[in-house]
Amino acid sequence: MAGLVLSRKVGQRVFVGDGLAITVTSVRGSTVKLHFECDRSTNIRREELDPPDDCRDDRPRSEKGKD
């Protein structure tokens, strides 16, 4: 999988494919607010709430952190 790192200022946009535009709406300290414009059918997930399958730890809570 390839990656890309960009620097953007407030108000600047990034386009992903033909159906997604991401705009930086504000920056305060280490917090960046982003606005996503896409079709309603596009699935946007926050990793901390719904990690990708290859990052998911499905062990019981009692077993986590024992590595």
Distances (CA, A) of 47 to 52, 56, 66: 7, 10, 22
Dump pLDDT digits (tens) for 16-37: 999 999 999 999 999 999 999 9
Q: Is 43 left (phi over 0), alpha (psi -120 to 50) or beta?
A: beta
Dump pLDDT digits (tens) for 33-60: 999 999 999 888 888 887 666 665 566 6
Q: Is the pLDDT of residue 7 over 90?
A: yes
Who contacts 11 (Cβ-Cβ below 8 Å, separation ≥6)? Answer: 23, 24, 25
